[in-house]
Structure 1
């Protein structure tokens, strides 16, 4: 009787458990459309906030010539590369959905 239980456990229960969790892992690893919409909204909000910070820093620098921005240099090419890549990916994704 114990041998039968061991065989059932090895050949039925163990693969079932493994396949069950592989399926759970694959379904939870995907991003939903709600998540994509939230990410796009957060991205646009971050861009707007960055533009506002640039404006505030320009105004402060105009009033105080000794002001040194602790942030990244405005419109420095190396800083904008990742943003351009994100913009390109978003445009491709929107083109694919249409």
Structure 2
């Protein structure tokens, strides 16, 4: 895999924990974080394409909305199946019940 060297500026509260990582692990940590964010964005695009409204990727906001909204199990299962078929979710992914 080809790598690209970048210089970025981060807020102190974000960069602080990176200083505690072992030497050579910062790039792997940042790459994993970016991959997770890209997965969230692909999932949001798939859900938006399926007619669902877009939500901000804020865990606290998402938890509050889950408390307010009830999605029938068959609708949830259909959405999960679609995301798996589009390659957004791994084929073996299972939701928490």
Bin of the TM-score, shorter chain as denominator length: 0.3 to 0.5
The alignment's TM-score, normalised by the length of structure 1, stands at 0.34
Q: Which has the larger radius of gyration?
A: 1
The alignment's TM-score, normalised by the length of structure 2, stands at 0.34
Instruction: Determine which structure has the larger helix proportion and give its number.
Output: 1
Higher-RCO chain (CA-CA 8 Å, sequence separation at least 6): 2
